[in-house]
């Protein structure tokens, strides 16, 4: 049984959809759905291994000499890849684009989310699969992305977002603007510093922040065990009265018991929707749109 407040918010379009890398996860066996490995972006564990190979991280930091670097950490490997010895920024972004976007297709789950009446969509993903899914749903999103420069006023919408023309904000950057991508330790530090900027230069557009203060937020494709996500969540709430901030919902098939105790039971920041992605999305689509999520994916035209 899904929370009524969440479903009501989605139906009315007054719910912020916040998408993470896990939205590209493949369906579990026996689900009845398909998402071929070749079609999906790599998830974090796979991605960090491939990036380490691309920048020759293991040769620069042999495990025998640098045991603290293992298991591999995405922000650390990316930081090395961003240096001249690791190939530099262009090679890093090219590697990310190869593993996360080239030849990839949005899943049925992402397509279903794109059909729902969300007016504000935020994502930490760099790829354009959500853009593709929205276009296939007949929508024309206003695309905005993080600008790491502290001297440029933040771009925003001039009109209210609508179901047909939602705002799509890439909070950690977009491949179309390589300089905007937040991936290394240094990128994250700069990003967090920017979160204290004045309204005119705040990295998150005012439209997005205002909606997050008024509407519930639905996190899909994340685990709140991820420190970076919790940090992002808290920085978005800086200088805002907690009593006025609406409840958020996080879809997680197995919430961390400690995080759930603190964030749900004690601080009441988030209500966990304990569900697998490929069960949650079809359920919501049938409830909100009145139709079942079909499968398999249609064959792409030659």
Q: What is the pTM of this model?
A: 0.93
Q: What is the mean pLDDT of each run of 10 residues along the chain (302 residues)?
A: 91 96 94 93 96 97 96 95 97 97 96 97 96 97 92 90 97 92 93 87 91 92 85 74 78 93 90 95 93 64 49
Within a domain: 158:
yes
Asked whether residue 114 falls in the same domain as residue 258, the answer is yes
Asked whether residue 85 falls in the same domain as residue 186, the answer is no
Q: Which segments of the chain are extended strands (E)? A: 16-19, 120-123, 142-145, 167-170, 217-220, 248-251, 270-273
Asked whether residue 177 falls in the same domain as residue 275, the answer is yes
Residue 210 gets which letter from DSSP? H
Among 78, 100, 122, identify where a domain stops. Answer: 100
**Residue 52 parent element (H or E):** helix 44-54
Asked whether residue 94 falls in the same domain as residue 110, the answer is no
Asked whether residue 143 falls in the same domain as residue 260, the answer is yes
DSSP 3-state assignment of 212?
helix
State pLDDT tens for residues 28-62: 998 889 999 999 999 999 999 999 999 999 999 99
Q: What is the CA radius of gyration of the chain?
A: 19
The answer to whether 129 and 101 have CB atoms below 8 angstroms apart is yes
């Amino acid at each position: 049984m899904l929370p009524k407040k969440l479903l009501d918010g989605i139906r009315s379009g007054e719910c912020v959809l916040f998408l993470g890398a896990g939205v590209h996860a493949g369906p579990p066996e026996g689900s009845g759905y398909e998402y071929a490995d070749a079609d999906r972006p790599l998830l974090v564990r796979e991605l960090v291994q491939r990036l380490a190979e691309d920048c020759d991280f293991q040769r620069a930091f042999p495990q025998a000499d640098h045991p603290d670097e293992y298991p591999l950490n995405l922000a650390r490997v990316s930081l090395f890849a961003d240096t001249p010895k690791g190939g530099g920024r262009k090679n890093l972004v090219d590697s990310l684009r190869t593993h996360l976007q080239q030849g990839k297709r949005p899943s049925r789950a992402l397509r279903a989310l794109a059909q729902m009446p969300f007016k504000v969509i935020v994502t930490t993903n760099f790829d354009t699969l959500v853009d593709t899914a929205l276009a296939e749903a007949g929508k024309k999103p206003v695309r905005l992305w993080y600008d790491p420069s502290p001297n440029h006023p933040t771009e925003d919408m001039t009109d209210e977002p609508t179901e047909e023309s939602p705002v799509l904000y890439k909070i950690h950057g977009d491949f179309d603007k390589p300089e905007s991508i937040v991936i290394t330790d240094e990128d994250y530090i700069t990003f967090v510093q920017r979160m204290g900027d004045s309204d005119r230069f705040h990295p998150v557009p005012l439209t997005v922040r205002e909606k997050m203060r008024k509407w519930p937020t639905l996190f899909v494709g994340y685990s709140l065990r991820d420190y970076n996500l919790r940090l992002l969540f808290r920085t978005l709430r800086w200088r805002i009265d907690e009593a006025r901030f609406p409840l958020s919902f996080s879809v997680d098939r197995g919430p961390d018991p400690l995080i759930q105790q603190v964030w749900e039971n004690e601080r009441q920041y988030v209500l966990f929707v304990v569900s697998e992605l490929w069960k949650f999305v079809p359920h919501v689509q049938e409830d909100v749109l009145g139709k079942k999520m079909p499968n398999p994916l249609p064959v792409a035209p030659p």
